[in-house]
Chains A and B, each alone.
Chain A
Amino acid sequence: METINQLKTLEPLIYDLGSDGRFSPTLMPACDVPEAELPTGLTRDELYLPEVAEMDVVRHFVRLSTMNYAIDKGFYPLGSCTMKYNPKINEDMARLPGFAQTHPLQEQETVQGNLALMYELQQWLAEIAGFKGVSLQPAAGAQGELAGILMIRAYHLDRGDDKRTKILVPNSAHGTNPATSTMAGYTVVELPSDDKGDVDLEALRKAADETVAGMMITVPSTLGVFDHNILEIVKIIHDCGGLMYMDGANMNALLGVAKPGEMGFDVMHYNLHKTFSTPHGGGGPGSGPVAVNEKLLPFLPGPIVKVSEPGTDEYAALYSWHTPEKTIGRLKAFHGNFGMHVRAYTYITLHGAEGLKAISRYAVLNANYVRVKLADTFKVPYNRMCGHEVVLEGRLADAPGVHALDISKRLMDYGIHPPTNYFPLIVPEALLIEPTESESKETLDHFIEVMKTIASEARENPEVLHSAPHVTPVSRLDEVLAAKQLVLCCRPAYLDKEG
């Protein structure tokens, strides 16, 4: 039994690779000062950490890495995640010692390079979306959302308006929108979508009253479409005294296409890890700067960077920290994910205005190409010009047992990462496909062909879909067992003996 289990372990845990007493002598720091007495009663005896050699560590993590799929390996059309190419130079720039080895609490005179970079990035992000001010502090999109909703709350309270208790959220929204509203102490009112995928205006008009603090909406929506009535929606909310929050998760469709601030939005967040290609890192770190119009400027999370002395021909400008007067406070220790700011700054520098505009044009071109090419095989519930992503129904009338999940898993056998599945929630068996501008026509043609092949397989040999994937390191996992047994870490045998 033991032997079989060992055979069935793809890669042992790092804990199981070592031996008592093994260590890397080259990593032991020298002590060139007299030793002090250790604090009595406060040291520990046992510590369950691996005891391995350097090569064991390198091989272990290289082997683990080969079990991952990644943008660097192939097509990754994961909807709403913008899995575009991550330029290699971004990584090198973030690692320049002058950036990577600066301490966040240094006197500001000693970090003028960092402050200049952050200031320019604030300005660029404000310009791209048509806003007046930006805070780079939020560590991820979800934190940007929290910043935005807390600013909306602070704005109303500052005006003495404490009757506003609701945030309106379309039913197509990402789960973070309602969760954020709840975190900020609001009640969520969900709005239906109409048959074109737009917000149901009648329902919106009914819900928009003096108890509404604001509305969160994603543009283009998570159904992949530009709402036809976006200006009308903004007006309805403003007329009832609420503010408009734009979830900027889908900004990859809007660069140089439209500026949310000019369309009347009051606040939005960016996802630098989507639109500006800072890598996703297997689930973070992200970066979620928040941009606001004039009304919300005093409430920005701080500190932000301002120019304290403009530059001249002889002297560089002088930058300093600035805490907005009515700030909602800090969202994170220090100044946000600066390493991500460096990468995004690099990316924008490499693109310039024309390159940024091209990003959205080609991202939208690619998504629409996939849409028209797959529309005769799969149902496209909102079959109109889409944004940078398109949603399909991952089911076929003549293959009743096949689900979006089966199609997703079968895609893996063809070396392609599945689209986002079962989101948005209002599309049955949803497959949300976002190709991004990085992908060539050849890659898209191959994907389209694979999707059509899978559709044929679904009719002729559905078992091959149900049992997929076949070529990945592991087959489908028992998620129920994981939740039932709840083994969340490995523990030393001596702890288990104690019970």
Chain B
Amino acid sequence: MPYIPHTKADSEAMLAAIGINNWEALFEAVPQSHRFPTLNIPESLNEMQTLWEMQSLASANASASSHAIFLGAGAYNHYSPAAVNHLLLRGEFYTAYTPYQPEMSQGTLQAIFEWQSMIAALTGMDVANASHYDGATSLAEAVTVAVQHFKGKRMKVIFSPDVHPQYRAVTRTYHQGTGVRFVGDKSGQATLDDLVDMLDASTAMFVVQYPNFFGQIEDFTALSEKVHKAGALLCVVTNPLVLGLLKPPGAMGADIVVGEGQSLGIPLSFGGPYVGFFATRTEFVRKIAGRIVGETLDMDGRKAYVMTLRPREQDIRREKASSNICTNQGLMALAGCIYLAMMGKQGLRRVAEVCYHKAHYAAHQIANLEGYNVNFRTPFFHEFVVQCPKHVSGINKLLLDEFNIIGGYDVSQDYPDRKNQMLIAVTEMNTKAEIDDLVEGLKRAAESLKA
């Protein structure tokens, strides 16, 4: 049997030691009426056949390895240095469990401590935790922290409609039983000023995104003052790669900074596994969910690392815990940590700059096309909205069929008023030739409309 080393003699000896002579006796407590049902699962394949089967499934997809890709909207095609994957494949990392036994887990623990340090530095905050499932669930947990901070006296959360639609949806799923009210994003058209007008004594937190879902960037310093004046907290959802170049939310007065760490060397992998990060100010550290690693000493005075503030967590506090999370995304945080070490201060800035330049080149080329418009009034980073002359899905079909390009995101899927708007992401992986192809494809699509 696969991965089961027992010989027939082993099994017989073991059954005898247990004092039974048949397998069924092991399961005497399972109701006989339900014992040993049939399993309608295909017969096993060997490793070679399995490889063929998996290759056949994988080859039925278009991917960033077979196509140029300009799709972003929360997941981005960046380069991951070869060393990242090699180090992740160390069995000592990926076949270990949560570091409950610190004496045998210093590798995992120190790497998490380094990840926490890097995230704190990037976001400009005091502390970060070991990670969450993804950016969306980090935001859901941030709302929990805000509600707990105000001891349930403030139950309103203001969402900018420019926060990723799926992040807002996940946060609502998490809080459907907790009584939190979410406002601000209903029409999809509220401006920051409209949202500021909603601030009141019942507001726990104000949530914005940087760059926002449409790729735009702005300084939230003035906003944070208004939010704090109303006694509420400011949460900024962000992309850590961008922070290699841009002013960090911590410097704008954010109280909690969360987001998706996929940009940091983690493959697209159809949406997961990714890694949510969570950073905040020291005063909230005892309220945050998830694992946190701290520095300490061993009995011989050696510096070492250990999971700390454990009494917050579900396995100890049980029904009094504010979150049920037990794992983090350990291996993905490790990937992000190795990526940041590989790229370093200069490399991360360089990647961010190149994304910025390429996106701006693409935006200007597209803006010159007849029938297309790009909004340059608000600064953007590496993603921007294009007003197209026809429906996005039709354009994408042409790009795919004739140019081998996976086109941008159809914004009207989440914002029905934004018809014919395509969200285009450009990264350091897109060459000028690819961008020029995209421009040519868009031009062709507009012409085919006229024809």
| B353 engages A31 (CB within 8 Å) | yes
Q: Which residues of B contact A301 (CB under 8 A)?
A: 173
* A255 contact set on B, CB distance < 8 A: 39
The smallest C-beta distance from A380 to any residue of chain B, in angstroms, reads 13
Chain B residue nearest in CB terms to A488? B127
Proximity string of chain A (205-244) to chain B, C-beta cutoff 8 Å, 1 when within and 0 when not? 0000000000000000000011110110000000000000
A89 on interface, CB distance cutoff 8 Å: yes
Question: Is B345's beta carbon under 8 Å from chain A?
Answer: yes
Within 8 Å of chain A (Cβ to Cβ): is B230? no
A52 touches B341 (CB 8 A): yes
In the assembled complex, which residues on chain A have CB atoms less than 8 Å from the CB atom of B300?
8, 474-475
Interface residues of A: mostly helix, strand, loop or mixed?
A: loop
Q: Which of A14-22, A290-298, A392-400, A453-461 contacts B (4 or more CB under 8 A)?
A: A14-22
Residues of B within 8 A of A36 (CB): 356-357, 360-361
Instruction: Name the residue of chain B whose CB is nearest to the CB of A84.
Output: B3
Known: A146-B174, A333-B260. A127 touches B361 (CB 8 A): no
Minimum C-beta distance from A307 to chain B (A): 15
| A368 adjacent to B344 (CB under 8 Å) | no
CB–CB B60/A85 < 8 A: no
Q: Identify A336's interface contact among B19, B51, B272, CB under 8 A.
A: B272
Is A47's CB within 8 Å of the partner chain B? Answer: yes
The digit string for A338-372, where 1 denotes a CB below 8 A from any CB of B, is 11101001101111111111110110111011011
The number of chain A residues with a CB under 8 A from chain B is 208
Closest Cβ of chain B to A363, distance in Å, is 9
Identify which of residues 273-296 in chain B touch chain A, using a CB-to-CB cut-off of 8 Å: 273-274, 285, 291-296
A353 to B65: give the CA distance in the assembly, Å: 34
A285 within 8 A of B: yes
Among B108, B218, B298, B396, which residue has its beta carbon within 8 angstroms of that of A478? Answer: B298
Cβ contact of B14, chosen from A127, A256, A333, A441, cutoff 8 A: A441
| Residue A489 at the chain B interface, CB threshold 8 Å | yes
A385 to B246, CA, bound (A): 61
Query: Does B354 reach chain A (CB closer than 8 Å)?
Result: yes
Given contacts A47-B122, A329-B172, contact A417 B101 (CB under 8 A): yes
Contact status A350-B130, CB under 8 Å: no
Q: Which residue of B71, B327, B341 contacts A60 across the interface (Cβ within 8 Å)? A: B341
Which residues of chain A are within 8 angstroms of B342 by Cβ–Cβ distance?
24, 27, 54, 57
Instruction: Judge whether A373 is part of the interface by a CB distance below 8 angstroms.
Output: yes
**In this assembly, does B90 line the interface, its C-beta being within 8 Å of a C-beta of chain A?**
yes
Partner of A263, one of B34, B113, B178, B353: B34
Which of B183-191, B196-204, B331-339 is the contact stretch?
A: B331-339
Question: Quick one: which of A111-141 are within 8 Å of B by CB?
Answer: 111-114, 116-117, 124, 127-128, 130, 139-141
Whether the Cβ atoms of A329 and B166 lie closer than 8 Å is: no
Shortest CB-to-CB span from A488 to chain B, Å, is: 5
Is B192 among interface residues, defined by CB-CB distance under 8 A? no
A352-B43, A440-B10 given; A103·B270 CB < 8 A = yes
Q: Does A311 contact B (CB under 8 A)?
A: no
Residues 459-499 (chain A) with a chain B CB within 8 angstroms:
467, 469, 472-479, 481-483, 485-492
Chain A residues whose C-beta falls within 8 Å of the C-beta of B61 in the assembled complex = 98-99, 102, 110-114
Whether B18 and A368, one on each chain, are in contact in the complex, defined by CB atoms closer than 8 angstroms, is: yes
Please pick, from A35, A188, A280, the residue contacting B95 in the complex, using a CB distance under 8 A: A280
Closest B residue to A20 by beta carbon equals B345
- Residue-wise, chain B 59-98 has the 8 Å CB interface mask toward A (1 for contact) of 1111111100101011101010101011101111111111
Contact A176 B345, beta carbon cutoff 8 Å: no
- The reply to whether B324 and A176 contact each other, CB–CB distance below 8 Å, is yes
Q: Does B393 contact A (CB under 8 A)?
A: yes
Q: Which of the listed residues A99, A336, A346, A490 has the most CB atoms from chain B within 10 Å of its own CB?
A: A99
**How far apart are the CA atoms of A8 and B75 in the complex, in Å?**
42
Q: Is the CB of B39 within 8 A of A226?
A: no
The docked-state distance in angstroms from the alpha carbon of A74 to that of B251 is 47
Q: Is B158 an interface residue, CB under 8 A from the partner?
A: no
Q: Are the CB atoms of A101 and B77 closer together than 8 Å?
A: yes
**Residue pair B26, A364 in contact (C-beta under 8 Å):** yes
In Å, the complex CA distance between A281 and B273 comes to 11
Is B299 in contact with chain A by the CB < 8 A criterion?
yes
From 429 to 464 in chain A, residues with beta carbon under 8 angstroms from any chain B beta carbon are: 437-441
Whether A179 and B5, one on each chain, are in contact in the complex, defined by CB atoms closer than 8 angstroms, is no
- How distant is the Cα of A364 from the Cα of B270 in the complex, in angstroms? 36
The chain A residue sitting closest to B29, CB to CB, is A226
Interface pair B108/A42, CB less than 8 Å apart = no
Does residue A185 face the partner (Cβ distance < 8 Å to B)? yes
Q: Which chain A residues in 68-127 approach chain B with CB under 8 Å? A: 68-73, 76, 78, 81, 83-87, 89, 91-107, 110-114, 116-117, 124, 127
**Complex CA distance for A283 and B275, rounded to whole angstroms:** 12
Please name all residues of chain A whose beta carbon is closer than 8 Å to the beta carbon of B309 when the two chains form the complex.
Answer: 483, 486
Contact residues, B13-50 vs A (CB, 8 A): 13-15, 17-19, 23, 25-31, 33-47, 50
With A73-B91, A150-B176, A333-B136 in contact, is A64–B106 under 8 Å at CB? yes
Q: 8 Å CB contacts to B: which residues of A1-29?
A: 5, 8-11, 13-15, 18, 21-24, 27-29
Pick the contact of A328: B173, B314, B320 (CB < 8 A).
B173
**B345:A337 contact, CB within 8 angstroms:** no
Q: How far is the CA of A334 from the CA of B260 in the complex (A)?
A: 12
Distance in Å: Cβ of B380 to nearest Cβ of chain A = 9
Q: Is B301 an interface residue (CB 8 A)?
A: yes
User: Knowing A103-B69, A336-B272 touch, does A329 contact B3 (C-beta < 8 A)?
Assistant: no
Q: Across the interface, do A334 and B273 meet the contact criterion of CB distance under 8 Å? A: no
A116 and B137 within 8 A (CB): no
Question: A406 an interface residue at 8 Å Cβ cutoff?
Answer: no
Q: Which residues of A contact B79 (CB under 8 A)?
A: 27, 29
Of the candidates B172, B294, B354, the one having the most CB atoms from chain A within 10 angstroms of its own CB is: B294
B102 to A, closest residue via Cβ: A477
Of the listed stretches B149-157, B366-374, B428-436, B440-448, name the one at the interface; the rest are far from the partner chain. Answer: B428-436
Within 8 A of B (CB), among A247-301: 255-259, 262-263, 279-287, 301
Closest Cβ neighbor of B426 among chain A residues = A33
- In the complex, B179 has a CB within 8 A of chain A: yes
* Residues from chain A with Cβ under 8 Å of B357 in the complex: 31, 33-36
Task: Check A150 against B15 for contact (C-beta < 8 Å).
Answer: no
Residues of B within 8 A of A23 (CB): 344-347
Partner of B217, one of A42, A91, A93, A178: A42
CA separation between A399 and B273, bound complex, in Å?
47
Q: Report whether A176 and B314 are in contact in the complex, using a CB–CB cutoff of 8 Å.
A: yes
Say how far A206's CB is from chain B's closest CB, in angstroms: 19
A160 interface residue (CB < 8 Å to B): no
Cβ contact within 8 Å between B42 and A482: no
B420 interface residue (CB < 8 Å to A): no
Cβ-neighbour of B74 out of A116, A182, A333 (below 8 A): A333
- Contact of A342 with B54 in the complex, beta carbons under 8 Å: yes
CB B426 to nearest CB in A, in angstroms, measures 9
Query: How far does the Cβ of A188 sit from chain B's closest Cβ, in whole Å?
Result: 4
Taking a contact as CB atoms closer than 8 A, the residue among B60, B108, B164, B292 that contacts A113 in the complex is B60
Is the C-beta of A408 less than 8 angstroms from some C-beta in chain B? yes
| Residues of A contacting B23 in the complex (Cβ-Cβ under 8 angstroms) | 361, 365
Decide: A96 near B54, CB < 8 A? Known: A176-B314, A285-B273, A489-B113: yes
The 3 closest A-B pairs by CB, nearest first: A334-B271, A98-B58, A185-B177
Question: What are 29 residue pairs bridging A and B, where the CB atoms are less than 8 Å apart in the complex?
Answer: A8-B303, A13-B110, A27-B81, A31-B354, A31-B357, A42-B219, A47-B345, A50-B340, A69-B101, A99-B58, A100-B63, A102-B270, A105-B409, A116-B57, A143-B133, A175-B326, A185-B178, A231-B33, A255-B39, A279-B94, A281-B329, A281-B330, A282-B105, A282-B111, A330-B173, A335-B272, A349-B50, A476-B299, A477-B304
